[in-house]
A and B are shown apart, each in its own frame.
Chain A
Amino acid sequence: MSAASVRAAGPRAGWTAGALALMVLAATLALIIGPTEIDRGGVLRASLDELLPWTIGHSLTDTQASIVANLRLPRVVLGLIVGAALSTAGATFQGVFRNPLADPYLLGVAAGGGLGATIAFVNEWGDGQGVLDAVQVTAFVGALASVAITWTVGVLGDRARSATSLILAGVAVASFFTAVQTYLQQQNTEDIRQIYVWFLGGLTTSGWSEVGQAVVPTALCVAALLLAGRTLDVLSVGDDEAAMLGVPVGRVRLLLVVIASLLTATAVAVSGLIAFVGLIVPHTARLLAGTSYRSVLPLSAIGGATFLVLCDLAARTLLTPAELPIGVVTAFFGAPFFIVILRTARR
């Protein structure tokens, strides 16, 4: 354990710097490539002009500048935020439950968020666009509610709050919420198309309002989880051993689950359900830079942001000017990529 930590501590800074460089590269690529041909230097200048507090000036036409400032840039920024949120949450769930298959949706967040969004759609409360739209709010609340119920049920079944009982409770709660969601959807077939589009997830029509809504909670939760690397490392040796080392296992697990769930719910509210990011990015980080959560967590945050921005780039350019659902891209490119990483790392 301590040997592993020491080994991980050395290359950690190098990996982090490399990952950050990759992220900047990915974001730059995503900015300069798009269905509309715009002068590359102009796009970057216009982007900086929009992001920085002072005026830089650019050579773009009004329409081009508006496309960069209102459509392309916020979409890239939201991709970074959502990617970082989902994969940091995924890494946390994997650590908290010592389960390599854990992902951000482990405790029923997807089913709860989906039910929340469905309720808003069938009642015509909102359309999922803008700031704190009803669909976003109900998806957020549904996601958190499902975790709360999972936790309650899991603890009821097992005073020790073991990982297994919580995961099983998550399966039960998710199935139940999915059943209710499916029933509502079948009763309201006129809304089925909106619901499907939401479930597929994506950043298609996202703007600064979504960014503004997600950036603060995501930054706070990711920062909090990054501080938990050591604790997750201790938890990884087992509940009893961690308790002997002075970690209040039950309370720590609750706290981490609450933060990771808030993070997931924030992402789900603005982008629907995006698969795979929260699962493969942390594993890739682990395979490349070692299993210590002190490196897995920051690399997951940066890698998740990079991965999602690249997937969204593919989603909007592969069949341009048509859009591909981003969930299709994350799984289609993510799975083979993950297998390659898995093979090379095992060698």
Chain B
Amino acid sequence: MKFRWIAALAVMFALVAAACGDDTDVASTEDATSAEDAMEDVAADEAADGDDAMEEDAMEEDVMEEDVMEEDEAAVEEPADEPAMEEDAVEDDAMEDDVPTRIVSLNPTGTEMLFAVGAGDQVVAVDNFSYYPPEAPVVDDLSAFTPSVEAIAAFEPDLIVTQGPIEGLDALGVPIMELWAAVTLDDVYSQIEQVGAATGHVGEAAELVGQMQTDIDAVLASLPERETPLTYYHELDNTLYSVTSSTFVGYVYGLLGLENAADAADPDGEFFGYPQLNEEFLVTADPDIIFLADTICCAQTAETVAERPGWDQLSAVQNGNIVELNDDIVSRWGPRIVEFIQVAGEAVAALETADAS
């Protein structure tokens, strides 16, 4: 009885972890979709020792670079009988009729991007985790975790946004746009441009990307130089699961000049960038800043962290350098990543000032 449990859990756990390796994301449960899909990928690719997501993203990027002038929607698998989209996209909103008007999104990040580029009106249904922005037409039974092709077909979509391949979805003959978990900010920008191109909002997408770049550059420029980098711990849940620098979140912290205390726990990527940290290691490592990405999932706050036995020894607790983040924002890679960078940047800047005085 018990063995079956443990075996099943171990397999599931490995899959979740494996999927995270592919997708650079564990905090968001929407990744569960790719946990399933990643099964084959992982099995197939592990031998080849290739990071699937990285290659995929790299490929998309290449395509984007080549075709960016034409605003080609690289990731959209268009059926042959709809060749008109490309030119329409260039002419932007001139031919509204030919842009998709019944978009179904099974990717919460994709949903955020669709609304941010102004394509919200063209979206008819989004999965049960796409609850941002609030006006997104969430369908409670529409799951990206256990997607039902029939349920998707019932919305008569003319564009489907997913995070990875969904079995049997091709059969609908509808264009599918796969937005894989980003690895770098350039991935985020190129995906937003793809979304803009595919929905007839090229101008807005370019504007959004430009604004994001400006805002992020402003944060980065506001950070003073340091001789020794500040260290941080990014908490995914209250059993001390964390991220290393090899993840997208870790990469973002790297942009802010921070050093990850969890990197030592997964140097070879055995945990795909998502190790569970030992508690006494963390207390000894004594990171300068603690970022809580478990304020929603696990109701953690600066207060609950301070109350943990032995944590009063941490200088981040003593100095109040605990930053409460929105779980969703830091587990997605949408336009709101700017908010995350601003909040984290403020915390870093505040610490710098405190140090200087």
Contacts and interface: CB of A to CB of B under 8 A. Distances in A.
Nearest to B145: A189
A103 B29 contact: no
B1 A200 contact: no
Interface in B257-288: 264-266, 270-271, 275-286
A285 interface: no
Given A129-B238, A275-B6, A327-B10, A204 B281 contact: no
Contacts of A319: 265, 270, 275
Contacts of A199: 5, 9
B299 interface: yes
Interface in A239-276: 273, 275-276
Contacts of B32: 189, 192
A275 B297 CA distance: 27
A194 interface: yes
B237 A197 contact: yes
Contacts of A207: 308-310
Interface stretch (A21-29, A65-73, A218-226): A65-73
A89 B209 CA distance: 61
A105 to B, nearest CB: 5
Interface string B77-114: 00000000000000000000000000000000000000
Contact of A273 (B5, B29, B129, B146): B5
Contacts of B310: 66-67, 69-71, 207
Interface in A268-288: 273, 275-276, 279
A333 to B, nearest CB: 14
A186 B29 CA distance: 11
B298 interface: yes
Interface string A27-55: 00000001110000000000000000000
A333 B299 CA distance: 36
B226 interface: no
B319 interface: no
Given A36-B281, A67-B284, A190-B297, A327 B239 contact: no
Contacts of A320: 278, 281
A228 interface: no
Contact of A174 (B1, B26, B266): B1
A196 B2 CA distance: 15
A321 interface: yes
B9 A35 contact: no
A95 interface: no
Interface string B1-43: 1110110011011001000000000110110100000000000
B219 to A, nearest CB: 29
A8 to B, nearest CB: 28
A122 to B, nearest CB: 11
Interface in B300-356: 300, 308-310, 312-313
Given A196-B16, A321-B264, A72 B280 contact: yes
A194 B236 CA distance: 10
Interface in A110-129: 110, 114, 124, 127-129
Given A105-B1, A110-B2, A171-B1, A197 B241 contact: yes
Contact of A275 (B5, B29, B266, B281): B5
Interface in A180-210: 186, 189-194, 196-197, 199-200, 202, 204-205, 207-209
A207 B146 CA distance: 37
A36 B310 CA distance: 14
A331 B29 contact: no
Contacts of B284: 35-36, 63, 67
A316 interface: yes
A205 B239 contact: yes
Contacts of A200: 6, 9-10, 13
Nearest to B281: A321
28 contacts: A36-B280, A36-B281, A36-B284, A63-B284, A66-B313, A72-B280, A103-B1, A105-B1, A129-B238, A186-B145, A192-B29, A192-B32, A193-B29, A197-B239, A200-B13, A202-B239, A204-B278, A205-B239, A207-B308, A207-B309, A208-B309, A319-B275, A321-B282, A321-B285, A322-B270, A323-B240, A327-B6, A327-B10
Given A67-B310, A327-B6, A327-B10, 12 more contacts: A36-B280, A36-B281, A63-B283, A110-B1, A114-B5, A190-B29, A196-B16, A207-B308, A320-B278, A325-B13, A327-B9, A331-B3
- A-B residue pairs, 7 tightest by C-beta: A70-B310, A321-B281, A322-B265, A322-B275, A207-B309, A35-B281, A70-B309
Interface of B: 1-3, 5-6, 9-10, 12-13, 16, 26-27, 29-30, 32, 129, 143, 145-146, 236-241, 264-266, 270-271, 275-286, 297-300, 308-310, 312-313
Interface of A: 34-36, 62-63, 66-67, 69-72, 74, 103, 105-106, 110, 114, 124, 127-129, 170-171, 174, 186, 189-194, 196-197, 199-200, 202, 204-205, 207-209, 273, 275-276, 279, 316, 319-323, 325, 327-328, 331
